[in-house]
C-alpha cells in the first residue's frame, strides 16, 4: 500500500510551484512593521509566494546580512546601508539599469508625536523649544535612518545641544514610538507610518517635521547575493513598485518612490 501512496504523493509535490514550497525571507526596516504585513498577504494571494519579514533597525539588519543571515531581500529605511552591502559584494539590484544602486521603493516622513493625555501643547516646532518637554524619544542615530533624520532636524533648528540631555534613545523607530506611547517619553520624533497606526492615531497627535530640516529618507531595496530565490524577490520588488501598492504605501505614511 505504501509503495503505491509515496509515488503518488511525490507526483503531487512535483506539481506544486517552487515558490509555494519555500518562504521568501525579508529583512525589513522597523518603519515597515505597520505597513508591510497586509501587503505580503496580498502578494501571496496574487502569486502564491509566501514571504516573512524580520523587522529591526537598518544597521542591525545590515550587520546580520554581513554575518551570513539567510535573507533574500533587504528593505532598508535608507540607501546607505544597502549600498554598503552592494559595495561589499553581498547584495545587488540586478535587473535594474544600475545594479550598483539600491532600488528606491518609497520615501519616509519624520513627525513629532505626543499622547493626548501628555498635558503638553499640541505637537509643533514650538513644542521642541518648550521647557515643558522633559523627555524626547528618538531612534539611535548610529543604527536607524530616522534617528539620523531626527538629529539632523534638531541641528537644523539649532536645538540639538539644548535637547541632548533630554533625549531618550531607542534601538529603532518602532521602539521609539513605543517609548512615547507607554509614557517613557513626553514626545517622540517617529515615522509617519507609526503615527498613522490605529493605536497611535487614537492615543495621540502628530506634526509633520518640514522636509527641509533633514535629508530625504529614501528607502532602498537590494537582493542578497546568496539568495536562492532571486526570481521571487524580483516579483516582490515589482509588486511594491506597482501603482496600487504605491498608493497603499502612501495611505500608510510612505511617499511613493516616483
Give the three-class secondary structure for 54.
strand
Does 2-107+218-256 match 110-208 in CATH topology?
yes
The domain limits of the chain are 2-107+218-256, 110-208
Model confidence over 112-138: pLDDT tens digits? 999 999 999 999 999 999 999 999 999
Name the burial class of residue 16, with classes exposed (0-12), middle (13-18) and buried (19+) by CB atoms within 10 angstroms of its CB. exposed
CATH 3.40.190.10 for the 2-107+218-256 domain, yes or no: yes
Placement of cell 516579483 in the chain: 235
pLDDT 10s digits, 7-57: 443 344 334 444 345 799 999 999 999 999 999 999 999 999 999 999 999
C-alpha cell at 250: 502612501
Cα-based distances in Å from 122 to 126, 158, 159, 179: 9, 21, 18, 18
Q: Is 165's pLDDT higher than 50?
A: yes
Q: Does domain 110-208 have CATH number 3.60.110.10?
A: no
Neighbour tally for 101: CB within 10 Å: 16
List all residues 6 or more positions away from 133 whose beta carbon is below 8 Å from its beta carbon: 120, 127, 163, 166, 186, 187
d(CA 112, CA 177): 10
For residue 255, the SS3 value is strand
Provide the whole-model pTM. Answer: 0.86
For the residues 157-179, what does the mean pLDDT come to? 96
Amino acid at each position: 500500500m505504501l509503495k503505491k501512496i509515496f509515488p503518488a504523493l511525490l507526483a503531487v509535490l512535483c506539481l506544486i510551484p517552487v515558490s509555494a514550497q519555500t518562504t521568501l525571507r525579508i529583512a525589513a526596516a522597523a518603519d515597515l512593521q505597520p505597513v508591510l504585513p497586509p501587503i505580503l498577504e496580498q502578494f501571496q494571494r496574487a502569486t502564491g509566494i509566501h514571504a516573512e519579514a524580520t523587522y529591526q533597525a537598518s544597521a542591525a539588519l545590515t550587520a546580520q546580512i554581513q554575518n551570513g543571515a539567510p535573507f533574500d531581500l533587504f528593505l532598508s529605511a535608507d540607501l546607505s546601508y544597502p549600498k554598503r552591502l552592494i559595495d561589499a559584494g553581498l547584495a545587488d539590484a540586478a535587473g535594474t539599469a544600475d545594479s550598483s544602486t539600491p532600488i528606491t521603493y518609497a520615501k519616509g516622513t519624520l513627525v513629532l508625536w505626543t499622547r493626548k493625555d501628555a498635558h503638553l501643547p499640541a505637537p509643533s516646532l514650538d513644542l521642541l523649544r518648550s521647557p515643558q518637554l522633559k523627555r524626547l524619544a528618538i531612534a539611535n542615530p548610529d543604527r536607524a535612518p530616522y534617528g539620523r533624520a531626527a538629529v539632523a532636524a534638531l541641528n537644523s533648528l539649532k536645538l540639538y545641544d539644548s535637547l541632548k540631555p533630554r533625549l531618550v534613545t531607542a534601538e529603532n523607530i518602532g521602539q521609539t514610538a513605543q517609548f512615547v506611547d507607554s509614557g517613557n517619553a513626553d514626545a517622540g520624533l517617529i515615522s509617519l507610518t507609526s503615527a498613522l497606526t490605529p493605536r497611535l492615531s487614537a492615543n495621540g497627535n502628530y506634526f509633520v517635521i518640514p522636509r527641509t530640516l533633514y535629508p530625504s529618507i529614501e528607502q532602498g531595496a537590494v537582493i542578497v547575493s546568496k539568495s536562492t530565490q532571486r526570481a521571487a524577490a524580483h516579483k516582490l520588488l515589482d509588486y511594491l513598485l506597482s501603482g496600487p501598492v504605491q498608493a497603499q504605501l502612501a495611505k500608510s505614511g510612505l511617499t511613493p518612490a516616483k
